[in-house]
């Protein structure tokens, strides 16, 4: 009997397509506006994973024609210094998007810094004003990872209206905004988490399953409904017995790919989409300011 394999939801390919669309849009708008869009990424300290993420974002900016106003601060930078930099960037006409790369050193308060960012320059879509707009179904900058997931589902013509969607994870970064976006698309949404009783039974109902908890291999094949759409937001670095490390998701990919109808790979699924939506948010802010 032929072994079934789920169709891939290829975030890498779709991100590439979005980059090309943004590049064309920027080229067309720049002549009229007189400058490129600008994104400022603030990084504090020398976390190697953060440095890699920031380089990745800056490379993506360069590829589509967004100017980077990245600022790298030493670990001992104070809260007041960072707030002052954000206030300057809020006023800077060249800057359309601002984001603070997390995690921050322990002495800094990330939430307070986020609150200082002008909501219309909030490239990460995480400011309370933008989350409020999402709750109310109003236009605004959307949280990058869940918005990337929605765009991926749309690209593959996956119907959401009336479907049972289960989001595993309730973080403000992914789980909560993800549930709201699925509700907005007329899905019937359940949010499960580490305190949920009988997680398997909840997950088994899902036509659309979003795993976003940060626990490697938490979702196994027997928990997944046949032909379900499985989106793995998890990015976990694991080290095998030989000392080699690799990235894995929250879903046990090898077994689940034999049950699901569609599945995202890790890496190459949701990760590239997060960066693509970050750029899209920056360009949206740029065009709105220019009235185009």
Between CA 209 and CA 158 the distance in angstroms is 12
**Contact between residue 70 and residue 99 where contact means Cβ atoms under 8 Å apart:** no
Q: pLDDT digit string (tens) for 145-164? A: 999 999 999 999 999 999 99
The residue from 101, 122, 225, 232 that is catalytic is 101
The residue from 57, 121, 163, 176 that is catalytic is 57
> For residue 238, is it within any domain?
yes
What band does 292 get if pLDDT is binned at 50, 70 and 90? low
Residues 164, 205: one domain?
A: yes
**Domain with 104 in it: what CATH number?**
3.40.50.10860
> For residue 134, is it within any domain?
no
What band does 255 get if pLDDT is binned at 50, 70 and 90? very high
> For residue 168, is it within any domain?
yes
> For residue 287, is it within any domain?
no
> What pLDDT shows up at residue 194?
86
Q: pLDDT digit string (tens) for 89-102? A: 999 999 999 999 99
Indicate the average pLDDT of the chain: 95
Q: Does residue 275 carry a pLDDT above 60?
A: yes
Integer Rg of the chain from CA: 20
Distance of CA 179 to the CA centre of its chain: 14
Residues 200, 234: one domain?
A: yes
Range of the domain at 173: 144-271
Q: pLDDT digit string (tens) for 71-90? A: 999 999 999 999 999 999 99
Residue 96 annotated among the catalytic residues of the structure: no
**CA nearest to 66, candidates 10, 114, 23, 101:** 23
Q: What is the pTM of this model?
A: 0.95
Between CA 141 and CA 147 the distance in angstroms is 10
> For residue 130, is it within any domain?
no
Residue 101 annotated among the catalytic residues of the structure: yes
Between CA 219 and CA 203 the distance in angstroms is 9
Based on the number of CB atoms within 10 Å of its own CB, is 292 exposed (0-12), middle (13-18) or buried (19 or more)?
exposed
**Which residues participate in the annotated binding site for NADP(+)?**
169-171
The residue from 124, 207, 232, 250 that is catalytic is 124
> For residue 131, is it within any domain?
no
**CA nearest to 289, candidates 126, 97, 65, 130:** 97
> What pLDDT shows up at residue 1?
43
Q: Where are the beta strands (DSSP E) in 221-281?
A: 229-232, 236-239, 245-248, 262-263
Residue 20 annotated among the catalytic residues of the structure: no
For the chain, the distance separating the N- and C-terminal CA atoms, rounded to the nearest angstrom, is 56
**Which residues participate in the annotated binding site?**
169-171
**Domain with 171 in it: what CATH number?**
3.40.50.720
**CA nearest to 42, candidates 73, 67, 66:** 73
- Interacting residues of 29 by C-beta distance below 8 A, sequence separation 6+: 286, 287, 290, 292
Q: pLDDT digit string (tens) for 188-224? A: 999 999 899 999 999 999 999 999 999 999 999 999 9
Residues 185, 250: one domain?
A: yes
Give the mean pLDDT of 44-70: 94
């Amino acid at each position: 009997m032929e072994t079934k394999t789920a169709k891939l939801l290829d975030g890498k390919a779709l991100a590439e397509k979005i980059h090309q669309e943004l590049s064309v849009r920027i080229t067309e708008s720049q002549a009229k506006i007189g400058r490129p869009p600008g994104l400022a990424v603030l990084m504090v300290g020398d976390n190697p994973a953060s440095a890699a993420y920031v380089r990745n974002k800056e490379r993506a900016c360069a590829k589509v024609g967004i100017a980077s106003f990245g600022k790298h601060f030493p670990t001992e930078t104070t809260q007041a210094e960072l707030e002052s930099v954000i206030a300057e960037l809020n006023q800077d006409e060249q800057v359309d998007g601002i984001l603070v790369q997390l995690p921050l050193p322990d002495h800094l308060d990330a939430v307070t810094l986020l609150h200082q960012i002008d909501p219309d320059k909030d490239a990460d879509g995480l400011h309370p004003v933008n989350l409020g707009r999402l709750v109310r179904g109003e236009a605004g900058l959307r949280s990058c990872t869940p918005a990337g997931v929605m765009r991926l589902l749309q690209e593959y013509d996956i119907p959401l209206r009336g479907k049972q969607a289960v989001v595993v994870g309730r973080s403000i970064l992914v789980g909560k905004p993800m549930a709201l976006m699925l509700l907005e698309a007329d899905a019937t949404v359940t949010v499960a988490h580490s305190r949920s009783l009988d997680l398997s039974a909840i997950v088994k109902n899902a036509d659309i399953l979003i795993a976003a908890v940060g626990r490697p291999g938490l979702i196994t094949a027997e928990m997944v409904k046949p032909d379900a759409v499985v989106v793995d937001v998890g990015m976990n670095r694991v080290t095998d017995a030989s000392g080699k490390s690799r990235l894995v998701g929250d879903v046990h990919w090898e077994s689940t790919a034999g049950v699901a109808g569609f599945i995202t790979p890790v890496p190459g699924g949701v990760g590239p989409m997060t960066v693509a939506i970050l750029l899209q948010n920056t360009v949206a802010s740029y065009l709105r300011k220019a009235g185009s």
